[in-house]
Amino acid sequence: DFIFLLFCLICKKYTAKILKRDFSPERDVITLDLKGAYNSSNILKLERRMTYDRRNRTVTVRDCALFAKPGAFESPLSTFGVVENGSKPGSFVIVRRVGDAQKRLGFTVDAHGAKWTLKEEKIPNPTRAEPTRWAVVIDKRSVRHEVEFVFSRL
């Protein structure tokens, strides 16, 4: 079907590329090039590195952007849970009800010295539950931005 073929071609153009995979008994690391997902000549580099550390039982998601001209930056995460403030600055808890149980996942945010805010946006999904997009927003324009989320069980 033509529509499906067109969709596949568009998706292939705007897709992430795997730059690096490193799997070991201690940790798994995958680095993605996300630049192709955005139609912008200002983005020189946009990478997301995800690290699963088995020993510390954490997942780290690190976004790194490099722009030709200074720009603002957002680093998003989406969840069906509610994000609450944690006990320390820059720490948060995702709370999600699953049946009668309440699941909790902690995470910290590190914007490597940049001032940031956390923005909430509901993602409309008329036939199912609506996820929420939470974004670390860095308004100060710069040619380089880094944001790191570290997720851990509570």
Q: What is the pLDDT along the chain (154 residues), one digit of tens a residue?
A: 444 444 444 455 667 788 999 999 999 999 999 998 887 889 999 999 999 999 999 999 999 999 999 999 999 999 999 999 999 989 999 999 888 889 999 999 999 999 999 999 998 888 888 889 999 999 999 999 999 999 999 8
3-state secondary structure of 130: coil
Helix (H) or strand (E) segment spanning residue 91: strand 91-98
Cα–Cα distance between 14 and 64 in angstroms, integer?
18
Q: Kindly report the backbone phi and psi dihedral angles of residue 7, in degrees, each rounded to the nearest multiple of 5, phi listed first.
A: -60, -45
Q: Which two tokens stand for residue 22?
A: 């490193």
CB 74 within 8 A of CB 135: yes
Q: What is the pTM of this model?
A: 0.85
**From the centroid of its chain, how far is CA 52?**
14
Strands 58-79 vs 17-23: parallel, antiparallel or unpaired: unpaired
